[in-house]
Amino acid sequence: MDDGTGRIHPLLIPLHQLLVSLDRPKSRLIWLRNPQVPVLMRDLATGKVPLTHEAIQALPNWRTAAYLRDLLMDSGVLLFERWLAQRLAATVDAEHARLLQHFSTWHQLRKLRAKAAKGPLGTSTTQECRQQTTQAGAFLIWLAARDVTLDACTQTDLDAWHAEKYATRRPAQAFLRWCMASHRMPRLTIPNRPTTNPQPMGQHQRVTALQGVLADGTTSLRVRVAACLVLLFAQPVSRIVRMTADDVLRDGSHVALRLGDPPTPVPEPVADLLLDYLQDLPASTPAINQNSYWLFPGHRASQPMNPATLHDALRELGISVEKGRTPAIRQLVLQAPAPVIAQALGYHDKSTTRIATEAGAPWKNYAPGNHNR
């Protein structure tokens, strides 16, 4: 890590502190003995390889580079602010740069700092913000090519922007909503492509699948617990992988999950399966994440399990996340008022109310609040 002056490169000091402070030094030493690692570290320290996401991602030894990138993210070396400064410096139009800076300062960075206060920022979080900024810049350039200013943007312009390659346009929607809320552009309707689930499981199929998961003695506890969270509590995979061990609450013989507020009770025998998983968690956790607080730790430093990896594991088990969540949430809103379910499971109350209406729930006219007064 010597930058040529006999000292550690200033930007690599947090990484050095991370390497010497973590437990289980044997695995760290084995990694450092990899011939590729000292060369890569030396190139970063001397400036031969710029300390940026793009430069590290372009390296040929992608496994080593990806691992080092995660360590750098965890140590705080590669921050979103550094990427943002480079992105704004490369923006030719001064007005576009000003808008992007305001958007990143008042929307993205505020959100990132709030998440960072609760735990390490995952690569997916910062990657999402980078995509939002990039697509926001692309929208401004596209709009200027039509000789239209942001404050004169019309519904026709917005529809035309989304008409081609809708999936790649979606990251810009955060910027569009921010512009509308801050009165930088007119209030328009952002095109939405609804995602439907035409053939969800029936309730009998869901219960049968849940029973099969509980009786399965060959599949890993991690996948079985995740399947129960999908089939019983209608949790999406993206939220499951962000759960921490502290979200499992135990009070005597009662087990609850902090999915919302208040915590949701976990019935037997799912509670026993969850406790068995917690007991087995240290032995099944990768060495790089031994000190991690994630309930589903991944194979990268301080990062949770990749949602796509868990999604594939559930599919191999025979559990379709999309088809399994739908009957679970429908059954729940039939058993209790939609606002109560939303608060307990971390859903938006408008979503559960809509689902309750579609399912013909008898709680449609329920008024939330304290009814004891």
Residue-wise pLDDT tens digits, 163-174: 877 767 888 999
What is the DSSP secondary structure assignment for residue 190, as one 8-state letter?
P
Give the range among 62-71, 90-99, 129-138, 199-208 with minimum mean pLDDT.
62-71
Q: Side chain identity at 251, as an amino acid letter?
A: D
What pLDDT, on a 0 to 100 scale, did the predictor assign at position 155?
94
Given a contact cutoff of 8 angstroms between Cβ atoms, the answer to whether 175 and 136 are in contact is yes
Share of the chain above pLDDT 90, in %: 28
In the chain, where the domains are located: 10-75, 90-181, 203-324
Given a contact cutoff of 8 angstroms between Cβ atoms, the answer to whether 141 and 96 are in contact is yes
Given a contact cutoff of 8 angstroms between Cβ atoms, the answer to whether 343 and 349 are in contact is yes
Tokens of 251: 């009070």
DSSP assignment of 260-320 equals SSSPEE--TTHHHHHHHHHHHHHHHS-GGGTT--BSSB-SSTT-B--HHHHHHHHHHHT--
Give the range among 111-120, 238-247, 345-354 with minimum mean pLDDT.
111-120
Given pLDDT bands bounded at 50, 70 and 90, which one contains residue 370? low
What is the mean predicted confidence (pLDDT) over 266-274?
A: 91
Count of alpha carbons within 13 angstroms of residue 18, beta-carbon side: 18
Give the range among 26-30, 110-114, 167-171, 211-215 with minimum mean pLDDT.
110-114
Given a contact cutoff of 8 angstroms between Cβ atoms, the answer to whether 257 and 264 are in contact is yes
Rounded Cα–Cα distance for residues 132 and 59 (Å): 25
What pLDDT, on a 0 to 100 scale, did the predictor assign at position 363?
58
Please state, rounded to an integer, the average pLDDT across all residues of the chain.
82
Give SS3 for 4: coil
Residue-wise pLDDT tens digits, 118-141: 545 555 677 788 889 999 999 999
Q: Residue ranges of the alpha helices (H) in the chain?
A: 13-21, 25-32, 36-46, 53-57, 62-75, 80-89, 94-103, 109-116, 123-145, 155-163, 166-169, 173-181, 203-215, 221-233, 237-240, 270-284, 307-317, 321-335, 338-345, 349-359
What pLDDT, on a 0 to 100 scale, did the predictor assign at position 77?
45
